[in-house]
Amino acid sequence: MTIRLYNTAQRKKVEFAPIDPENVRMYVCGPTVYDRAHLGNARPVIVFDTLFRLLRHVYGAEHVTYVRNFTDVDDKINATALARKEAGAEGSLEELVRERSDETIGWYHADMDALGALRPTKEPRATAFIGQMVAMIEALVEKGHAYAKEGHVLFRVRSYEKYGALSGRTVDDMIAGARVEVAPFKEDPLDFVLWKPSTDDLPGWDSPWGRGRPGWHIECSAMAAELLGESFDIHGGGNDLQFPHHENEIAQSACMGHGFANVWMHNEMLQVEGKKMSKSLGNFFTVRDLLEQGVPGEVIRFVMLSTHYRKPMDWTEKKRVEAEKVLARLYAAAAGVKPSDGVDVLIIDALSDDLNTHAALQRMQQLQKKPAELRAAMELLGFGSPEEVDWWRSDLTMTSGPTALGGESLSELMNLIHPYLDHWQSLRDQKRWAEADEFRQKLNEAGLVVQATPTGPQGERSSNFDPSKLEGLL
């Protein structure tokens, strides 16, 4: 089995060769836990969950370690905690910060669980690794790659010759167009903060440079090194993190002498109805908003995976409706059967080709007549079992199969209807249009209204649906 992944650092697909096949390691930048996850936050979760599932399938679940962090050191978290304290909440500021982080992490887990995402192997909180961050900063200062001034410690960007290689930027270009913080304690405008002072009313930790807290970028470098080693296989995240966050991670870690990540993967951003999601446009919503509106998590996952991770993903109402119909049909087909021992090879081939989830979903739909193989594919792709998902039973309006009727099971009725839909599609494929139209009319008279869609023929049961009228049509 050969897995090929697009390595941002090399700007091409590469054959994935883990450092140690017995210990495949992946790090993905996780959320800053100050509020609910919006829909865009869900995309990297689903993308790298799919990669996690593929790696577990190929190398064995016990041989894959997936780390995704929680950033719980942040000004927005502090602001919320301060507001609660001013409103009379009991406890110290540190306790209120912890309470807010716990609350938000709970929300995050619930929302991502609903999308079918497996929990990563390890989910470190930044606050649990302050000691490792301080040690790394001290080492960078000793090596001359960082300097302390006015309670701050900053990284000397120009001390790392390859800075900008990941994002394809030069230092001069960055200075010309960058929006960087200009501060009197900086030697160079591009230098970034590794440590900054904390006032008495903010959370802080003791350090050689006084009471303070770490900068954002050092967190991931320290946690990745501690949990995965100085060199590991894959680092992932959204392409909005490529610069400066991932660029800074590389600089810090490389100057420590760490090999860091061999493969860098970045997913593209999400749009809503063709526009960037924003509160000002009124198209901003969280994952929880959709779930509470009755959009199943499996449908959100299906829509997300329908677009390749390196292409912009457009969430539309049309896609949601179509995904719900397709999934209802697939759940009905897979209900009541045991999954096959293996997963269809074309599914694995698609995922192994730089996570071609669009092709994998198409193949999954082609397995509708092979319910055991279909079920195995659905489980690998994170859609769960039909018995654990309830919405499709009530929402199914006979998309390529009927709702329960006359005491028969959904799977039995699906088997009844499929030959007719397949025959109609076969006539169309052979361009026997007149015969196809005549056959379609007979199906309509039996109460089975059919139509062609990009995912194959679909049908809806009308109020006068009578299965007995289908007899003799084939």
Binding residues: 29, 220, 245, 249, 279
Alpha helices in 229-316 (DSSP H): 247-255, 287-292, 297-305
Give dist(CA 284, CA 429) in Å, integer. Answer: 42
Binding residues for Zn(2+): 29, 220, 245, 249
My answer on whether omega of the bond before 244 falls inside 30° of 0, hence cis, is yes
Q: What is the phi/psi pair of residue 13, to 5°?
A: -75, 140
| First-residue to last-residue Cα distance in the chain | 42
Tokens matching residue 333 = 């087909």
The strand pair at 192-197 and 456-461 is best described as: unpaired
Alpha helices in 335-409 (DSSP H): 345-352, 357-366, 371-380, 391-395
Strand order in the sheet with 64-68: 64-68, 24-28, 231-238, 260-267
DSSP state string for 389-425: --HHHHH---TTSPPP-TT--HHHHHHHHHHHHHHHH
Nearest Cα neighbor of 192 from 203, 200, 183, 205 is: 183
Give dist(CA 401, CA 403) in Å, integer. Answer: 7
Nearest Cα neighbor of 405 from 469, 466, 340 is: 466
> Cα 325 to chain center, whole Å?
22
Tokens matching residue 471 = 């007899």
Binding residues for ATP: 279
Give dist(CA 220, CA 226) in Å, integer. Answer: 10
Q: 404: Cβ–Cβ under 8 A, 6 or more apart, which residues?
A: 393, 410, 413
For residues 208 and 134, the answer to whether their CB atoms sit within 8 Å is yes
Give dist(CA 382, CA 47) in Å, integer. Answer: 11
**Beta bridge mates, 32:** 71
Tokens matching residue 5 = 């992944």
